[in-house]
Structure 1
Amino acid sequence: MNVSALYAITPIDGRYRNTTQELSAYFSEAALIEYRVYIEIEYFIALCELPLPQLSHFDKSCYADLRKIYERFHQDDAERVKSIEKTTNHDVKAVEYFIKEKFDALGLAQYKEFIHFGLTSQDINNTAIPHSFKLAIEKTYLPAINELRAALQKLANEWAGIPLLAHTHGQPASPTRLGKEIMVFIERLDNQLNLLNHIPFSAKFGGATGNFNAHHIAYPEIDWVIFGNNFVNKNLKLNRSQYTTQIEHYDNFAAHCDALKRINNILLDLDRDMWTYISMNYFKQKIKAGEVGSSAMPHKVNPIDFENSEGNLGLANAMFEHLAAKLPVSRLQRDLTDSTVLRNIGVPLAYTLIAIKSTLRGLNKLLLNEAAINRDLEDNWAVVAEAIQTILRREGYPNPYETLKDLTRTHQQVNAQTIAEFVDTLQVSDSVKEEIKRISPANYTGV
Structure 2
Amino acid sequence: MPPSTRPASPAATPGRVTLADAVPPIALGPLDGRYRGAVAPLVDHLSEAALNRERLHVEVEWLIHLTATGAVPGAPTLSGAERDYLRAVVATFGAEQVAELAAIEKVTVHDVKAVEYFLKDRLAAAPATLGAGTVLPGASELVHFACTSEDINNLSYALMVRGAVHDVWLPAARALVSQLADLAREHRDAALLARTHGQPATPTTLGKEIAVLAARLDRQLRRIERAEYLGKLNGATGTYGAHFAAVPGTDWQAVSRGFVEGLGLTWNPLTTQIESHDWQAELYSDVARFNRVLHNLATDMWTYISMGVFIQTPVPGATGSSTMPHKVNPIRFENAEANLELSSALLDTLASTLVTSRLQRDLTDSTTQRNIGPAFAHSLLAIDNVRRGLGGLHVDHEVLARDLDANWEVLGEPIQSAMRAASVAGVTGMENPYERLKELTRGKRLGAADIAEFIAGLGLPADVAARLALLTPATYTGLAADLVDHLEV
The TM-score normalised by the length of structure 2 is 0.89
Aligned runs of 1:334-345 on 2, under 5 Å?
334-345=361-372
Aligned counterparts of 1:336 and 1:111: Cα–Cα separation in 2: 31
2:435 is equivalent to residue 435 of structure 1: no
**What corresponds to 1:176 in structure 2?**
204
Q: SS state of the match for residue 12, structure 1? A: helix
Aligned counterparts of 2:85 and 2:24: Cα–Cα separation in 1: 36
**Alpha-carbon distance change, 182 to 2 in structure 1, aligned in 2, over 3 angstroms:** farther
**What corresponds to 2:30 in structure 1?**
11
Q: SS state of the match for residue 167, structure 1? A: strand
**What corresponds to 1:67 in structure 2?**
87
Unaligned runs of 5+ in 1: none
Aligned counterparts of 1:4 and 1:72: Cα–Cα separation in 2: 24
Q: What is the deviation of 1:56?
A: 4.0
Q: SS state of the match for residue 215, structure 1? A: helix
Work out which of the residue numbers 421, 425, 447 in structure 1 matches 2:457.
425
**What corresponds to 2:273 in structure 1?**
246
Aligned counterparts of 1:3 and 1:211: Cα–Cα separation in 2: 48
Q: What is the deviation of 1:429?
A: 2.8
Aligned runs of 1:344-383 on 2, under 5 Å?
344-383=371-410
- Residue identity opposite 1:439 in structure 2: L
2:143 is equivalent to residue 115 of structure 1: yes
Alpha-carbon RMSD = 1.4
Aligned counterparts of 2:144 and 2:445: Cα–Cα separation in 1: 80
Q: What is the deviation of 1:152?
A: 0.4
Aligned runs of 1:234-383 on 2, under 5 Å?
235-383=262-410
Q: What is the deviation of 1:2?
A: 10
**What corresponds to 1:445 in structure 2?**
477
2:51 is equivalent to residue 32 of structure 1: yes
Unaligned runs of 5+ in 2: 1-20, 128-135, 424-429, 480-489
Q: What is the deviation of 1:76?
A: 1.0
Aligned runs of 1:397-436 on 2, under 5 Å?
397-409=430-442, 412-436=444-468
**What corresponds to 1:386 in structure 2?**
413
Aligned counterparts of 2:232 and 2:24: Cα–Cα separation in 1: 38
Aligned counterparts of 1:137 and 1:310: Cα–Cα separation in 2: 21
Aligned counterparts of 1:273 and 1:4: Cα–Cα separation in 2: 41
Aligned counterparts of 2:298 and 2:206: Cα–Cα separation in 1: 15
Aligned counterparts of 2:218 and 2:360: Cα–Cα separation in 1: 38
Q: What is the deviation of 1:4?
A: 5.0
Q: What is the deviation of 1:265?
A: 0.5
Q: SS state of the match for residue 165, structure 1? A: strand
- Residue identity opposite 2:266 in structure 1: N
CA contact (8 A) 2:235 2:242 kept: yes
Q: SS state of the match for residue 289, structure 1? A: coil
Q: What is the deviation of 1:62?
A: 0.9
**Alpha-carbon distance change, 165 to 109 in structure 1, aligned in 2, over 3 angstroms:** same
Q: SS state of the match for residue 442, structure 2? A: helix
- Residue identity opposite 1:252 in structure 2: W
Q: What is the deviation of 1:57?
A: 3.8
Deviations 1:19-44 (A, max 9, x none): 11111111122111111100000000
Q: What is the deviation of 1:59?
A: 3.4
Q: How many residue pairs get matched?
A: 444
**Alpha-carbon distance change, 111 to 145 in structure 1, aligned in 2, over 3 angstroms:** same
Aligned counterparts of 1:236 and 1:63: Cα–Cα separation in 2: 16
Aligned counterparts of 1:134 and 1:298: Cα–Cα separation in 2: 46
Q: Greater shift after overlay, 133-142 or 191-200?
A: 191-200
Aligned counterparts of 1:87 and 1:414: Cα–Cα separation in 2: 81
- Residue identity opposite 1:114 in structure 2: L
Aligned counterparts of 2:409 and 2:43: Cα–Cα separation in 1: 56
Aligned counterparts of 1:244 and 1:151: Cα–Cα separation in 2: 42
Deviations 1:249-274 (A, max 9, x none): 11110001100000001100000000
Q: SS state of the match for residue 193, structure 2? A: strand
- Residue identity opposite 1:78 in structure 2: V
- Residue identity opposite 1:198 in structure 2: R
Aligned runs of 1:148-227 on 2, under 5 Å?
148-227=176-255
